[in-house]
Chains A and B, each alone.
Chain A
Amino acid sequence: MTQPTPRSQRPTTDFSIIGKPTAMVDAAEKTTGAGKYTDDLSVPGMLVGKILHSPCPHARIKRIHTSRAEQLEGVVAVVVGKDAPSPYGILPVGHDEHALAVDKVRYVGDNVACVVAISEAIAEEALELIDVDYEVLPAYFDPEESMKASSDLIHDNRPNNLEKDYHHVFGDPDKGFAEADHVAEARFIANEVTHAAMEPHSTLAAFEIDSQTGKPGRLTVWSSTQVPYYLQHKLSLVLEIPMAQIRVIKPLVGGGFGGKSEVIPIEIIAAVAARKAQAPVKITYTREEVFWAHRGRPRTIIDLKTGVKNDGRIIAVKARVVQDGGAYCSYGVVTILYSGALLGALYDIPNIQYDGYRVLTNKPACGAMRGHGTVNVRFAFESQLDELAAKIGMDPAEIRRRNLLQPPCITVNGLRVQSYGLPECIEKTVTRSGWKERKGKLPRGRGLGVACSHYVSGAANSIIRSDMPHSTVNIKIDRDGGVVVYTGASEIGQGSDTMTAQIAAEVLGCSLSRVRVVAADTDLTPIDIGSYSSRVTFMAGNATLRAATEVKKLIVAAAATKMNCQPDDLVFREDAVVSRNGHVGTAAIESLPRAQPRGPAEQSSAATVSGRVEGQILRGSLQQKRKDEGPKDRMTFEEAVVAAIDFHGALTGTGSYAPPAEARGGKHKGAGVGPSPAYSYSAQVAEVSVDEETGEVTVHKVWAAHDCGRALNPVSVEGQIIGSVWMGMGQALTEEMVWKDGMLMNPGLLEYRSPSSIESPEVEPIIVESVDPEGPFGAKECSEGSLAATIPAIANAIYDAVGIRLHESPFTPERVLAALRAKKNAKAINLTEGVDPTSPTRFREHGGSLWFKGKGPERHPLDPSRHEPAGGAD
């Protein structure tokens, strides 16, 4: 392993907190094990819930017999669909889910019933005592087959099992292709991947008894969610109780990546179960259930056509995208729109045609996953662009430079681009990777590939279609000089709480240790629509900035009076307030006692406790002392706060953020998805080697430059870049949900192969700061945008190494070897079961056979197909 590059190339900063490497405010909780995730919580009288899942991919429920389960000693309640029949869904247009199946099950793993018992073992035992009569229906597993369906639809109101289709034309694509010097056209297939966050979903729900009515009243739900507010909203819908009677608390969350960015069945089921059992109920998914809850990236067919001029300019793009969305809508309508919308805003493309189909199949629902909607299409696009560069004999990095946007601008599909660090990203990765010197000169089997990507910093239009602010933040400062920030933003490991504390501390000029962040508790914190689409830094960050600025004004006014100077003359920094007159800038600050710098994440943690007089905290005497003195030329932060409270009363500030109208996109149908107040940019170079006898691909290193606007916390930004690249590498090489007739063959971390440390490469993160005019301190997103470039960078590097173009991901060794053997005209062996990875036509299913048609031996008594003829599932 090579030594990681020292981070000496990090941008420098004049801020006192922003831009400094900072340990996350909750780091110690995490490294000591003291922090609590939902499954770590327990409340008195808590029961355990376990869910019965469907063994059939598509069936009508004729009857559920629960009596045997109910009679088992230790079982408190058995919950079924009719206990909460109201439909819900994350999108207003997609209310197609129920807490538990009401009439039909639509995938193997669908939720049928829930047992509440005094222990997990008893609940599991009781599940086996529930008998369900199913009427097996024909099932659909392949999206292109599913689109032909005319009967036995998955949802009656979705003809042809089509959740949604969109057809967009921008510019004149036909004319564009006619003018093109070179056109490439191919089918790409990206297989299905899932978030596989380390924490399995968990929810604890408890009702309080209302003092007035003496009956069950308020509901409190602790849940591993990225979206507490949406959860509160959907709970209200399904349980039919007002939102004000529901409190959602998000404890620590062990990773989300989109898998917790909508309401997951477990969250509704736990609440319904707590109501029926009349006791607190906790449900934690098994890992297999996490795979069934899914909401991951759909497997996708991309039929892509790109036309370029001889000078490398892209003149037209046409994409037909089919997503295998699974059995429910989930975020599907948004996913299929992102896939088209994010063809724009990276490069300047004058003519675009997009036809997107979101299709229902009898598989677990797909939803939002890191890089939502853009990743698979970007794999196809950046691969095809590489092929076109080769065709016209242009350097792959150069062809990307030839197609840059000229911001500020509005793209052909209505996306507003202001800050645009892509040119610098390309420049830096190319330089740092030694691209010019090394490309094409590496030994056989080793190669370099380049690719770019981008992503939104939050959606400009929220999914709930309202004009309310997307983020609101309250700040309270009391006489102790402590700053409490109340934010609805959800820390899920990405550093949301730390970002909030940093912005508040920077604006107020106080040390980070003064700031306490209270987050994601709907009783305490104002509405924030959640941690998804990389919106938190931009939106909650701006709201924090505004709240802090508002409260600071009060302190400034008081301090200016006290110090007998103009408010504009005051500088707040590192727990001190100084006047620019006489004590210019940092000279005065440097005379203050300071904490010793320590380690990489150094920060001034020792707040000056100015109220401490002779070992005692004596506010009265402090104030007396203050009154006795004349005008000051310097105050501590706490003195200024006390002065401000004396002048104004309590110090509070509120800030909120809603994206500006100009950033909210065009008027065409579906124009609401894609627009963002700002876009992040990424360029990457991957270095790989390919074993030509085995097809095994090794990624040696990835250089990843990411334009995050401004790096508020470089350690975190680098962590997000590395993590995104790494997850992209997983999708490129090892991760794949393997299906056979709707059965997920690998629902566990042993068989779903998220990379281990052994095959994980060094990733060199390169921070590019374009300083966005609307971002907080110029910041944009940094957690998703890098993922999409990694897959095509690796694909292009494989081409550079061994000359094969893989059009199907992941690039597993059998696919790579099949392509290599085909190229060499070696003896054909059926390595990939009839699907050519260089020109795939369909999704490949796992081998073997699931069902027998009318023959075969007697089935096990528990075999569902024993009760019903095995219909149509073959």
Chain B
Amino acid sequence: MKKELIELRVNGRDHEVAIEPSALLLDVLRQELQLTGSKRGCDDSSCGACTVLVDGVAMMSCTLLAASCEGQEITTIEGVSEHGSLAAIQKAYGDWGGAQCGYCTPGFIMTVKSLLAENPDPSESDIRDALSSNLCRCTGYNQMYEAIRSAIAAERCAVRNSEQGK
């Protein structure tokens, strides 16, 4: 099959890639752009390890054709770290044991990013609902809740500090 040249905007940068029309976004991210943080865990769109943001909305990159994402803003786990340091949610996942083997972690962090973007003060059940898009086999999810709460608190604290600094 002849490859097509498409332009993908990923983590704020434009990339021209030549791909087959049937190429999945996940494969293009991993193989063409070497952004291997998004993972493949299943083949039936059930596990969420490949979750990325498309125009800010959490989606499974294994279930999207790369070509149909042209013109949209894609954010992967590689686009989450802020200025070379861990974002609050990444730090909290490490500190609270939210990540064990780490394979599902990028997907979870993207899911949590999208949750907090639309709902900065989620209830326990909001968090639980949101996390139900992704499967984890190590943690039983418990320590993730602690991590998310701690990240929210850290973000608030940072906001307060910056407001006070003004």
Q: Quick check: do A and B touch in the complex, using CB within 8 A?
A: yes
How many B residues have CB within 8 A of the partner chain? 60
A847 interface residue (CB < 8 Å to B): no
In the complex, how many angstroms separate the beta carbon of B101 from the nearest chain A beta carbon? 3
Digit string of B82-107 for contact with A (CB within 8 Å is 1, else 0)? Answer: 00001001111111110111111110
CA separation between A690 and B145, bound complex, in Å?
A: 26
A30 & B102 in contact (Cβ 8 Å cutoff): yes
Are A719 and B138 in touch, CB under 8 angstroms? yes
Contact B140 A494 (CB under 8 A): no
Are B135's CB and A748's CB within 8 A? no
Q: What 0/1 pattern do residues 38 to 51 of B give for CB contact below 8 A with A? A: 11111111110100
A288 with B43: in contact, given A27-B93, A760-B140 (CB under 8 Å)? yes
Stretch from B64-72, B125-133, B158-166 contacting the other chain: B125-133
Given that A599-B91, A722-B142 are known contacts, is A34 also in contact with B39, CB under 8 Å in the complex?
Answer: no
Q: B143 touching A722 by the CB < 8 A rule? A: yes
Contacts A4-B146, A254-B39, A750-B44 given; does A31 touch B100 at CB 8 Å: no
Q: Specify the chain A residue showing the minimal Cβ separation from B140.
A: A726
Tell me whether A253 is interfacial, beta carbon within 8 Å: yes
Q: With A31-B94, A601-B96, A758-B128 known to touch, is A199 a contact of B80 (CB < 8 Å)?
A: no
Residue B109 lies at the interface, judged by CB distance under 8 Å to chain A? yes
Q: What sequence of 0s and 1s flags, for each residue 177-216 of chain A, a beta carbon within 8 Å of any chain B beta carbon?
A: 0000000000000000001111110000000000000000
Closest to A762 in B: B142
The answer on a CB contact under 8 Å between A763 and B142 is yes
**Complex contacts, B43 vs chain A, CB 8 Å:** 286-288, 748
Q: Per-residue 0/1 for A35-59: is the Cβ within 8 Å of any B Cβ (1 yes, 0 no)?
A: 1110110100000000000000000
Say what secondary structure dominates the interface of chain B: loop
Q: Is the CB of A601 within 8 A of B94?
A: yes
Interface of A is mostly: loop
- B36 contacts A by Cβ under 8 Å: yes
Residue contact B132 to A757, C-beta cutoff 8 Å: yes
User: Do B102 and A1 touch (CB < 8 A)?
Assistant: no
In the bound complex, CA of A723 to CA of B103 (Å): 15
If A32-B78, A287-B44, A762-B142 touch, does A757 touch B128 (CB 8 Å cutoff)? yes
Neighbour of A754 across the interface among B38, B77, B106, B135, CB < 8 A: B135
Q: Does B37 contact A (CB under 8 A)?
A: yes
| Interface hits, A4-26 → B, CB 8 Å | 4, 21, 23-24, 26
The residues of B that contact A762 with a CB separation of less than 8 Å are 142
Bound Cα distance A96, B134 (Å): 38
In the complex, which of the residues A256, A286, A493 contacts B102, with contact meaning CB atoms closer than 8 Å?
Answer: A493
CB of B124 closer than 8 Å to a CB of A: yes
Shortest C-beta distance, B90 to chain A (Å), equals 4
Asked if B13 lies at the interface with its beta carbon under 8 angstroms from chain A, I say: no
Q: A129–B38 Cα gap in the complex (Å)?
A: 32
> Is A33 an interface residue when CB atoms closer than 8 A count as contact?
yes
A121 to B19 Cα, complex, angstroms: 13
A756 at the interface (CB under 8 A from B): yes
A255 and B47 in contact, given A28-B94, A748-B42, A758-B132 (Cβ under 8 angstroms): no
One digit per residue, 1 when the CB lies within 8 angstroms of any chain B CB and 0 when it does not, for chain A 593-614 equals 0000001110000000000000
Contacts A21-B95, A749-B44, A750-B45 aside, 16 further interface pairs with beta carbons under 8 A come to A1-B128, A24-B94, A30-B94, A32-B80, A32-B86, A39-B39, A195-B137, A198-B135, A252-B102, A494-B100, A599-B95, A600-B150, A719-B100, A748-B46, A749-B47, A750-B44
B-side residues, CB < 8 A to A, are 20, 22, 30-31, 35-47, 49, 76-78, 80-81, 86, 89-97, 99-106, 109, 124-125, 128-129, 131-132, 135-143, 145-146, 150
A-B residue pairs in contact (CB < 8 Å), sample of 24: A1-B124, A3-B124, A26-B102, A28-B90, A28-B94, A30-B99, A31-B91, A31-B93, A33-B37, A33-B78, A37-B36, A39-B40, A40-B30, A198-B137, A252-B103, A599-B91, A600-B150, A715-B95, A716-B97, A748-B43, A749-B44, A750-B42, A754-B137, A760-B141
> Ordered nearest first, which 7 A-B pairs have the shortest CB separation?
A33-B37, A493-B101, A30-B102, A254-B103, A726-B140, A27-B94, A33-B77
Question: A residues touching B (Cβ–Cβ < 8 Å)?
Answer: 1, 3-4, 21, 23-24, 26-37, 39-40, 42, 121, 195-200, 252-257, 284, 286-288, 492-495, 599-601, 715-716, 718-719, 722-723, 725-727, 748-750, 754, 756-758, 760, 762-763
